Amino acid sequence: MSSITTVKPTIAFFGATGGCANACLAHTLKAGYSVAALARTPAKLKTQLLAQGLSEETLSQQLVVIQGDALDVAATKRTLTAGDGLVNTIVSGLGGGPRLTFSARRPLQIFSLDQPTICESATKTLFNALQELYVEKPTLAANKPLVTFISSTGITTGPVDVPFWLRFLYHHLLAIPHADKGNMEALYRKNITESDESKRLFRNIVGVRPTLLFGSESINDGIGLNKIRAGREQSPQLGYSIRRADVGQWIFENIIKNGAQGWEDEMVSLTS
């Protein structure tokens, strides 16, 4: 697969090999949508999707894979404009690989990431890519995309969204990766609330905050949306865990399929 194709993507995926985003991508392709995905290793993405039951024909007809890094502005621009114009929806499931760390100054922060600022840095790259595209082709700004990004509970500015027994884990052991998610959220919030509408890069945003993730990206690994609870920042749903496959399906059903109706400009807590 390459960017030279007759496919005209309407949705762009970043972090598509990650569990939640990969499950969402599989549902999206199965439903017949055309997609562009940025991947450092296209072969890995293709293998994952074939394992999800998608056919070679579906991938060739509906998916454009752009090889590159989410911190590369040029690769990001190619992904956003893989069709005739700008995609109308962006799904970002970016995140770093977990690793153990130790600091005498912060002995409780034992979990970190191989790229501790990946979410914040990739968000800035996306911003730069869109800014350049709007300058190069001003007509693109007439139809700005909706962006959905996967974050985490535990960094809310509203009521507490983490059960008491998880708070030590979230606020101490997972402080480093959560700080990155928090910085990412702050960037999106600041941009979407710009008083000068011309400076806004997106039509709107939807932040998805799952609680502790487990399970694989396989769409057969989910327990079903009827068992998933979704809350808003001012009225969150408290819970302990959720399967990656269920997060992916929730994003597909509510954001891609139903156009984010009722969820735009929300930070959605998800738990099972």
Q: Is pLDDT larger for residue 55 or for residue 94? A: 55
Say if CB 182 and CB 213 are below 8 A apart.
no
For residue 18, give the nearest of 231, 205, 184, 251 by alpha carbon: 251
Q: Which CATH number fits domain 11-271: 3.40.640.10, 3.30.70.980, 3.40.50.720, 3.40.630.30?
A: 3.40.50.720
107: pLDDT strictly greater than 90: no
pLDDT in tens, 140-181: 999 999 999 999 999 998 999 999 988 877 776 777 777 899
Q: How far apart are CA 107 and CA 78, in angstroms?
A: 42
- Output the pLDDT for position 169: 77
Q: Is pLDDT larger for residue 117 or for residue 234? A: 234
Say if CB 211 and CB 155 are below 8 A apart.
no
Say if CB 144 and CB 202 are below 8 A apart.
yes
What's the pLDDT band for 4 if we cut at 50, 70, 90?
very low
pLDDT in tens, 258-271: 999 999 999 999 99
Average pLDDT, the chain: 90
Give the pLDDT mean for 240-261: 96
- Output the pLDDT for position 170: 75
3-state secondary structure of 210: strand
Q: How far apart are CA 156 and CA 77, in angstroms?
A: 30
Residues with Cβ within 8 Å of residue 39, at least 6 apart in sequence: 16, 17, 45, 65, 66, 67, 68
Sheet holding 204-210, edge to edge: 63-67, 35-39, 11-14, 89-92, 146-150, 204-210, 266-271, 229-231
Percent of the chain with pLDDT over 70: 89
Give the pTM.
0.91
- Output the pLDDT for position 2: 42
Residue 176 has which token pair? 């480093």
Pure H helices in 137-243: 167-168, 175-192
Q: How far apart are CA 19 and CA 12, in angstroms?
A: 16
Q: How far apart are CA 232 and CA 259, in angstroms?
A: 17
106: pLDDT strictly greater than 80: no
What's the pLDDT band for 3 if we cut at 50, 70, 90?
very low
Give the pLDDT mean for 100-111: 53
89: pLDDT strictly greater than 70: yes
Say if CB 87 and CB 36 are below 8 A apart.
yes
Give the pLDDT mean for 42-68: 96
Percent of the chain with pLDDT over 90: 79
Centroid of chain to Cα 58:
22
- Output the pLDDT for position 7: 65
Going 36 to 93 to 96 to 121, the CA torsion angle's sign is: positive
- Output the pLDDT for position 1: 44
- Strand bridging mode 241-243 / 212-214: parallel
Number of continuous H segments (helices) and E segments (strands) in the chain: 8, 12
- Output the pLDDT for position 8: 67
